[in-house]
Structure 1
Amino acid sequence: MPLPAERAPDETPSSDQLLARDIRALRKSRGLTLAEVALRLGRSVGWMSQVERGLSTPSIADLRAFADIFAVPISLFFGHEVPNEHERGVIVRAGRRRSLGSSDSGLVEELLSPDLGGSFEVLRSEFAPGAELQSVAHRPTEEAGYLVSGVFDIEIDGVWHSLSAGDSFRFDNKPFRWKNPGSEPAVVIWVVSPPVY
């Protein structure tokens, strides 16, 4: 029986290429042009284009500026290093997930997707007991979720739904809010298309 062919070295994206995918996906999800982001950063359009193609590596100061422009935590841009090169851009090990929130907000999210370069992102969202999103959120995305544990209430387009472990939901481009009315954390596997984090 023939062994599977080894993946060609150029098929495994580098850390810079994965970072480039994330920056491009975030820019596009916010409806910004290369020129608009370059202007906000005080950089040239050519430099921005090189960053998005993985040809130039942004500095820490640049990454902080990207985080401000895209309203994401700077930690999102780190964590592409993997011990096994064949897993880069394909596998995310439990201990190497990128954390996207803090317990102070009542919501901690971890990126389960290797990067934001695909057509969707997968998150593990943990909602603290009593946590809630008080203001309605509305983004041009299709979203779905599966409640792994706890209880979870979600308002979609003005209608509240109470979920228990094993329940799931989906909505497309509709306003939403959430809350955890329970005494235990609620864990939701959340899928968002296109990626917004």
Structure 2
Amino acid sequence: MLAGDIRALRKARGLTLSEIALKLGRSVGWVSQVERGLSMPSLADMRAFAALFDVPISLFFGHDVEDERERGVVVRAGRRRALGTSETGLVEELLSPDLGGSFEMVRSEFAAGAELAAPNLRQTEEAGYVVSGVFEIEIDGIWHRLTAGDSFRFEKKPHRWRNPGTEPAVVIWVVSPPVY
């Protein structure tokens, strides 16, 4: 649900309703209504939220479920929310039903030769499982070469990654708290 995702993103970044309202040039009341599902943001507003939270706008789409009993519980393979494009060398799909829980699960596909050049530091605990391919991850200055079946975990440490292989690498990534 869009409202819950916006609330989860705000909380994950430690921002108040007032701070969000100020950054968006909107009232606190409007932001509160969006978070409670009482107001629907325009496409321009959703672009502003995406820029503010540094997430792709596609995160806010794809909430459809065929069976209402599955909402917030099940994500069908054909209904995952895409979080990137092949142009960046990284395509991700949200495997979690939403961002409202204490963690998110993402399927990340790293193109052959793709890399994150500069280390990324997030205030999160992260873990991953390599499904296929060759995946290298630098955690706190130490490179680790992983292949299918290998896994990793780290907390609040700078990291970067690369796919040195000739085939895509697929990694199931778990992040707590959710950052997308």
TM superposition score normalised by structure 2: 0.97
Matched to 2:5, the amino acid is D
- The C-alpha deviation readout for 1:65-114, integer Å capped at 9, x for no partner, is 10111111111001111111111111111111100011111000000001
Q: Please state whether the residue corresponding to 2:5 is helix, strand or coil.
A: helix
What is the total number of aligned residue pairs between the two structures? 180
Structure 1 regions of 5+ residues with no counterpart? 1-17
Runs of 4+ in 1 over 3 A off after TM superposition: none
| 1:44 and 2:27 are equivalent in the alignment | yes
Give 2:102's aligned residue. Answer: 119
| 1:103 and 2:86 are equivalent in the alignment | yes
Identity %: 77
Give 1:189's aligned residue. Answer: 172
Task: Choose from 144, 147, 161 the match for 1:161.
Answer: 144
Give 2:120's aligned residue. Answer: 137
User: Which one is further off, 165-174 or 36-45?
Assistant: 36-45
Give 1:180's aligned residue. Answer: 163
Larger Rg: 1
TM superposition score normalised by structure 1: 0.89
Deviation at 1:166, TM superposition (A): 0.1
Partners in 1 of 2:43 and 2:66 — Cα distance? 23
1:4-153 alignment, distance < 5 Å: 18-153=1-136
CA RMSD, Structure 1 to Structure 2 (Å)? 0.9
Partners in 2 of 1:51 and 1:118 — Cα distance? 19
